[in-house]
Amino acid sequence: MGSAPVSDPVYVPDTVRTAVKILVVGHFAVGKTTFVGTLSEIRPLRTEETMTQAGELLDDLGGVPGKTTTTVAMDFGRITLSESLVLYLFGAPGQKRFTGLLNDMLHGALGALVLADTRRLDHSFDIMGLLEEHGVPYAVAVNQFEGAPAFPEADVREALDLLPETPLVVCDAREAASSAGALISLVEYLQTRTPWEQG
Protein backbone atom coordinates (compact mmCIF):
# COMPACT_ATOMS: atom_id res chain seq x y z
CA MET A 1 0.00 0.00 0.00
CA GLY A 2 1.48 3.37 -1.01
CA SER A 3 1.82 6.25 1.41
CA ALA A 4 -0.19 9.45 1.19
CA PRO A 5 1.31 12.53 -0.45
CA VAL A 6 3.37 14.65 1.96
CA SER A 7 1.22 17.66 1.07
CA ASP A 8 -1.83 15.98 2.61
CA PRO A 9 -1.99 17.27 6.20
CA VAL A 10 -4.09 14.30 7.35
CA TYR A 11 -1.23 11.82 7.00
CA VAL A 12 2.07 11.72 8.83
CA PRO A 13 5.07 12.25 6.50
CA ASP A 14 7.24 9.21 5.70
CA THR A 15 10.16 10.93 7.42
CA VAL A 16 8.58 10.65 10.89
CA ARG A 17 10.49 8.19 13.05
CA THR A 18 9.24 9.04 16.53
CA ALA A 19 5.69 9.52 17.80
CA VAL A 20 5.13 10.74 21.34
CA LYS A 21 1.88 10.33 23.27
CA ILE A 22 0.96 13.32 25.44
CA LEU A 23 -2.14 13.48 27.63
CA VAL A 24 -4.13 16.66 28.22
CA VAL A 25 -5.92 16.12 31.51
CA GLY A 26 -7.71 17.97 34.25
CA HIS A 27 -11.01 18.15 36.03
CA PHE A 28 -14.42 18.54 34.42
CA ALA A 29 -14.92 21.70 32.32
CA VAL A 30 -11.34 22.98 32.53
CA GLY A 31 -10.81 23.42 28.77
CA LYS A 32 -9.18 20.20 27.57
CA THR A 33 -11.27 19.87 24.40
CA THR A 34 -10.62 23.51 23.54
CA PHE A 35 -6.88 23.09 24.16
CA VAL A 36 -6.52 20.05 21.89
CA GLY A 37 -8.63 21.68 19.18
CA THR A 38 -6.62 24.89 19.31
CA LEU A 39 -3.28 23.16 18.76
CA SER A 40 -4.09 20.22 16.50
CA GLU A 41 -2.86 20.50 12.91
CA ILE A 42 -5.55 18.04 11.84
CA ARG A 43 -9.24 18.27 12.50
CA PRO A 44 -9.42 16.95 16.06
CA LEU A 45 -11.40 13.89 16.99
CA ARG A 46 -14.00 14.89 19.56
CA THR A 47 -16.43 12.75 21.50
CA GLU A 48 -18.58 15.46 23.00
CA GLU A 49 -22.21 14.82 23.80
CA THR A 50 -24.99 17.09 24.99
CA MET A 51 -25.34 17.08 28.75
CA THR A 52 -28.67 15.80 30.03
CA GLN A 53 -30.62 16.25 33.24
CA ALA A 54 -29.33 12.86 34.38
CA GLY A 55 -25.80 14.24 34.20
CA GLU A 56 -26.67 17.09 36.54
CA LEU A 57 -26.65 14.57 39.37
CA LEU A 58 -23.08 13.52 38.50
CA ASP A 59 -21.29 16.59 37.14
CA ASP A 60 -20.61 19.64 39.29
CA LEU A 61 -21.55 22.63 37.14
CA GLY A 62 -20.52 25.13 39.80
CA GLY A 63 -18.58 27.91 38.10
CA VAL A 64 -19.48 26.70 34.59
CA PRO A 65 -23.21 27.41 34.23
CA GLY A 66 -23.04 27.78 30.43
CA LYS A 67 -21.55 24.33 29.76
CA THR A 68 -23.89 22.24 27.61
CA THR A 69 -21.62 19.45 26.29
CA THR A 70 -19.06 17.10 27.80
CA THR A 71 -16.41 14.68 26.54
CA VAL A 72 -17.50 11.07 26.96
CA ALA A 73 -14.43 9.24 25.62
CA MET A 74 -11.50 11.38 24.50
CA ASP A 75 -10.22 14.15 22.27
CA PHE A 76 -7.39 13.48 19.83
CA GLY A 77 -5.10 15.80 17.91
CA ARG A 78 -1.66 15.85 16.32
CA ILE A 79 1.27 18.26 16.13
CA THR A 80 4.29 17.71 13.89
CA LEU A 81 7.35 19.10 15.67
CA SER A 82 9.92 18.22 13.01
CA GLU A 83 10.39 16.02 9.96
CA SER A 84 10.98 13.07 12.26
CA LEU A 85 8.91 13.80 15.39
CA VAL A 86 5.17 14.11 16.02
CA LEU A 87 3.16 14.59 19.19
CA TYR A 88 -0.19 12.87 19.58
CA LEU A 89 -2.44 14.74 21.99
CA PHE A 90 -5.03 12.74 23.91
CA GLY A 91 -7.57 14.76 25.88
CA ALA A 92 -9.14 12.75 28.68
CA PRO A 93 -12.60 13.25 30.20
CA GLY A 94 -12.44 14.85 33.62
CA GLN A 95 -15.29 13.21 35.50
CA LYS A 96 -14.47 10.60 38.14
CA ARG A 97 -16.71 8.05 36.45
CA PHE A 98 -14.17 7.94 33.57
CA THR A 99 -11.20 7.07 35.79
CA GLY A 100 -11.03 3.56 34.31
CA LEU A 101 -10.74 5.00 30.81
CA LEU A 102 -8.06 7.42 31.96
CA ASN A 103 -6.10 4.56 33.50
CA ASP A 104 -6.09 2.89 30.07
CA MET A 105 -5.06 6.12 28.34
CA LEU A 106 -2.05 6.47 30.64
CA HIS A 107 -0.39 3.43 29.05
CA GLY A 108 2.40 4.60 26.77
CA ALA A 109 2.08 8.28 27.65
CA LEU A 110 5.41 10.09 27.91
CA GLY A 111 3.87 12.88 29.95
CA ALA A 112 0.77 14.92 30.69
CA LEU A 113 -0.30 18.54 30.75
CA VAL A 114 -2.69 19.18 33.63
CA LEU A 115 -5.07 22.06 32.97
CA ALA A 116 -6.24 23.81 36.13
CA ASP A 117 -8.77 26.50 37.02
CA THR A 118 -8.06 28.92 39.88
CA ARG A 119 -11.73 28.83 40.86
CA ARG A 120 -11.46 25.10 41.54
CA LEU A 121 -7.80 24.28 42.20
CA ASP A 122 -8.74 21.54 44.66
CA HIS A 123 -10.41 19.63 41.81
CA SER A 124 -6.94 19.03 40.32
CA PHE A 125 -5.71 16.84 43.17
CA ASP A 126 -7.30 13.59 41.98
CA ILE A 127 -5.80 13.72 38.51
CA MET A 128 -2.35 14.76 39.75
CA GLY A 129 -2.45 11.94 42.28
CA LEU A 130 -3.32 9.45 39.55
CA LEU A 131 -0.45 10.67 37.36
CA GLU A 132 1.97 10.36 40.28
CA GLU A 133 0.65 6.89 41.08
CA HIS A 134 1.39 5.79 37.50
CA GLY A 135 4.75 7.57 37.37
CA VAL A 136 3.69 9.90 34.52
CA PRO A 137 5.57 13.24 34.66
CA TYR A 138 3.45 16.34 34.19
CA ALA A 139 3.35 20.10 33.93
CA VAL A 140 0.48 22.30 35.10
CA ALA A 141 -1.11 25.02 33.00
CA VAL A 142 -3.61 27.34 34.67
CA ASN A 143 -6.25 28.02 32.04
CA GLN A 144 -7.38 31.64 32.22
CA PHE A 145 -11.14 31.96 32.47
CA GLU A 146 -12.88 35.31 32.35
CA GLY A 147 -13.59 36.48 35.88
CA ALA A 148 -11.39 33.82 37.50
CA PRO A 149 -9.06 35.11 40.22
CA ALA A 150 -5.37 35.45 39.42
CA PHE A 151 -2.85 34.44 42.08
CA PRO A 152 0.94 34.70 42.30
CA GLU A 153 2.76 31.64 41.01
CA ALA A 154 4.12 30.83 44.46
CA ASP A 155 0.59 30.74 45.89
CA VAL A 156 -0.67 28.43 43.15
CA ARG A 157 2.36 26.15 43.61
CA GLU A 158 1.66 25.96 47.31
CA ALA A 159 -2.06 25.36 46.81
CA LEU A 160 -1.38 22.51 44.38
CA ASP A 161 1.56 21.19 46.45
CA LEU A 162 3.80 21.08 43.38
CA LEU A 163 7.40 19.94 43.45
CA PRO A 164 9.90 22.73 42.67
CA GLU A 165 10.80 21.15 39.33
CA THR A 166 7.19 20.75 38.12
CA PRO A 167 6.54 23.38 35.44
CA LEU A 168 3.68 25.79 36.16
CA VAL A 169 2.46 28.20 33.49
CA VAL A 170 -0.60 30.27 32.69
CA CYS A 171 -2.36 29.86 29.37
CA ASP A 172 -5.53 30.61 27.44
CA ALA A 173 -6.69 27.38 25.81
CA ARG A 174 -8.46 29.39 23.09
CA GLU A 175 -5.24 30.98 21.84
CA ALA A 176 -2.73 28.99 19.80
CA ALA A 177 0.41 30.83 20.92
CA SER A 178 -0.57 30.64 24.57
CA SER A 179 -1.49 26.95 24.36
CA ALA A 180 1.71 26.18 22.46
CA GLY A 181 3.72 27.86 25.21
CA ALA A 182 2.10 25.60 27.80
CA LEU A 183 2.82 22.51 25.73
CA ILE A 184 6.41 23.62 25.16
CA SER A 185 6.90 23.89 28.93
CA LEU A 186 5.89 20.25 29.24
CA VAL A 187 8.01 19.08 26.29
CA GLU A 188 11.11 20.87 27.61
CA TYR A 189 10.53 19.31 31.02
CA LEU A 190 10.17 15.85 29.48
CA GLN A 191 13.37 16.32 27.48
CA THR A 192 15.29 16.78 30.73
CA ARG A 193 13.89 13.47 31.97
CA THR A 194 13.48 11.27 28.89
CA PRO A 195 15.51 12.22 25.82
CA TRP A 196 14.00 11.11 22.52
CA GLU A 197 15.17 11.16 18.93
CA GLN A 198 14.84 14.58 17.37
CA GLY A 199 15.32 15.76 13.80
Average of pLDDT values for 55-64? Answer: 54
Structure confidence by residue, pLDDT tens digits, 67-117: 555 555 589 999 998 889 999 999 998 767 667 778 888 999 999 999 999
Instruction: Assess contact for 124 and 26: CB atoms under 8 A.
Output: yes
Task: Say if residues 103 and 36 touch (Cβ distance below 8 Å).
Answer: no
* pLDDT of res. 63: 55
Give the pLDDT confidence of 109-138 residue by residue, as tens digits: 999 999 999 999 999 999 999 999 999 999
Query: 85 Cβ partners below 8 Å, 6+ apart?
Result: 16, 17, 18, 19, 20, 196, 197, 198, 199
What is the C-alpha separation between 25 and 14, in angstroms, rounded? Answer: 30
